[in-house]
Structure 1
Amino acid sequence: MTHLPLDLAVIGGSGLYQFPGLENATRQSVDTPYGPASGDVVVGDFAGHRIAFLARHGESHTLPPHRVNYRANLWALHDLGARRVVGVNAVGGIRHDMGPRTVVVPDQIIDYTHGRYTSFCDVEGAEVRHIDFSEPYTASLRVALMEAAKRAGIAVIDGGCYGATQGPRLETRAEIARMKRDGCDLVGMTGMPEAALARELELDYACLALVANFAAGCGDEAEISIEEIFAHLAAATAEVPPLLAELLKR
């Protein structure tokens, strides 16, 4: 399949199932060698540029983190002409300054997931590639996001380590304590293998992490409320379109 290059592709996480302000939108169903993506890719115009949007969990949030077909999602966006991808991820805050409604552009990741297809090499006969993953996010795209946030007047934390867990359950206090000792600042369930697959396809990839709650044992709450999580997510998600509009202007 041959398509014109897109200016940006956005993968929406929990709370971001449609992209606000997308005009002249068309839905693209892409056949991939890895099965179906999470849903149709919606392609349209935003801030004077052509972008693609894909809801990682499906538009009705039917796919838990460990059942997302990450390979198909990245392949579909690449096949449609994407070269830059921003993954929007709902996360929990571990570091004291990464509380609810904070937006973070992480620069490192630790993978605690298991049983997921983590590479396009996981197919018989495929070429085995050993990608350099010492810096898991594309530095130039991270910088561009930070600069766009500054122009938009949106407070964003530069850097941090994302710990990717299996889900869909939230973590125990002991698990978060271990992750904190490991150097994690954030915890989420969808950061991997998405970042590594983007690298295999030679896509520029960065993460916008939206903090929905303090992780277990890191805040004052005795119990994490799902209602509060989605209220915090809605507030943080509202920052995404104006930030990406500024990104596209440059």
Structure 2
Amino acid sequence: MQTRTGIIGGSGLYDIQGIEVIDSLNIDTPYGKPSDELLLARINGHEVVFLPRHGRDHATPPHKINYRANIYAMKLAGVNRIISISAVGSLRQEIEPGHFVLVDQFVDRTHSREGTFFDGPVVAHVSMADPVCACLKSSLLKACNSASITTHENGNYLVMQGPQFSTRAESELYRSWGMNVIGMTNMPEAKLAREAEICYATVAMSTDYDCWHEEEEDVSVQSILDVMRGNGVKAQAMLQNYFNTLSADELCSCGCPTALEHGIFADLKVQSDDAIRPIHALVKRFL
């Protein structure tokens, strides 16, 4: 089975040298429309599906993103791995603006976001002990190193509700918890990817020091945008390296594609069509 990689991030990621655009996918899901049309493309012979998380015009704030529709659309598009590229604030001196962090853990401080596909009557509990696909993360580390990007191999990502930035007290609290970076978008995205049995890894791009670093200016939109432009160029180089070295039939040896095998607490064969319809793409292999 050929891999199809999904990339969730900013629309500027499309500008990769050698990209061949194939089609725009206007996908409806049981949860509504995703953030935007999905762009199907080919890079070095590999099929890629791009989705701008906030929409092409960045018109959707983090707490209003339809995360379920985004991940379900990726599933319907045949994606079996997702590279999540996210702007974050740094909570550590050594993670400077412009550095990348390959996150391995999340702490979810969001609220009022729809965070599961299994709202009943079909119930499922998947493991999130290791929320990032180790195989995909390893490949991304090699791609970052090949692009000479200063990259931190591990990190804890505090996912805040937003859209406001932290208070100074909150920033210091998260540092005391051992958090490395802070952002607003990767939860429930990572949880939903696990429920969809899609490998998932996050490349966190540091844009600022949050507000804990009193020797630096407090966070401003303009300062973040300036760093983000440089980070976007680095992300394009990383992705180009990733697809230049990816085997056409390379699959992860992780447990992500089988996350639901022991997690569904229901006999699917006795469920009604109404119960199955919203999760059909996720459970059809069990039917």
Q: TM-score, normalised by structure 2?
A: 0.81
* 8 A contact 1:5–1:83 mirrored in 2: no
Aligned counterpart in structure 2 of residue 90 of structure 1, from 87, 90, 93: 87
SS at match of 2:55: coil
Code of the aligned partner of 2:156? C
Aligned counterpart in structure 2 of residue 194 of structure 1, from 167, 186, 189: 189
Relative distance call for 1:98 and 1:79 in structure 2 (3 A) is same
SS at match of 2:14: coil
Q: Distance in 2 between matches of 1:226 and 1:95?
A: 20
Aligned counterpart in structure 1 of residue 150 of structure 2, from 151, 155, 162: 155
Aligned to 2:218: 223
The 5 Å alignment of 1:19-34 reads 19-21=14-16, 22-34=19-31
SS at match of 2:75: helix
Deviation at 1:154, TM superposition (A): 2.4
Q: Distance in 2 between matches of 1:150 and 1:102?
A: 12
Q: Distance in 2 between matches of 1:227 and 1:143?
A: 33
The 5 Å alignment of 1:39-78 reads 39-78=36-75
Aligned to 1:206: 201
SS at match of 1:230: helix
Code of the aligned partner of 1:84? R
Q: Percent identity?
A: 33
Relative distance call for 1:219 and 1:44 in structure 2 (3 A) is farther
Code of the aligned partner of 1:207? T
Deviation at 1:82, TM superposition (A): 0.3
Q: Distance in 2 between matches of 1:5 and 1:241?
A: 23
Relative distance call for 1:154 and 1:48 in structure 2 (3 A) is farther
Deviation per residue, 1:66-121 (Å, 9 max, x gap): 00000000110111110010001110000111121111111111000000001111
Deviation at 1:60, TM superposition (A): 0.2
Aligned to 1:177: 172
Deviation at 1:5, TM superposition (A): 5.5
Q: Distance in 2 between matches of 1:118 and 1:75?
A: 12
Deviation per residue, 1:128-155 (Å, 9 max, x gap): 1111111110111111111122223322
Aligned to 2:268: none
Deviation at 1:25, TM superposition (A): 3.5
Code of the aligned partner of 1:129? A
The 5 Å alignment of 1:110-189 reads 110-122=107-119, 124-125=120-121, 127-189=122-184
Q: Distance in 2 between matches of 1:19 and 1:198?
A: 22
Q: Distance in 1 between matches of 2:154 and 2:189?
A: 18
Deviation at 1:226, TM superposition (A): 1.4
Q: Cα RMSD between the aligned structures?
A: 1.5
User: Structure 1: 5+ residue runs without aligned partners?
Assistant: none
SS at match of 2:31: coil
* 8 A contact 1:5–1:81 mirrored in 2: no
Q: Distance in 1 between matches of 2:233 and 2:87?
A: 13
Q: Which of the pair has more CA radius of gyration?
A: 2
Structure with greater helix share of residues: 2
Number of residues paired by the alignment? 243
Deviation at 1:218, TM superposition (A): 2.2
Deviation at 1:17, TM superposition (A): 4.5
User: Structure 2: 5+ residue runs without aligned partners?
Assistant: 247-287
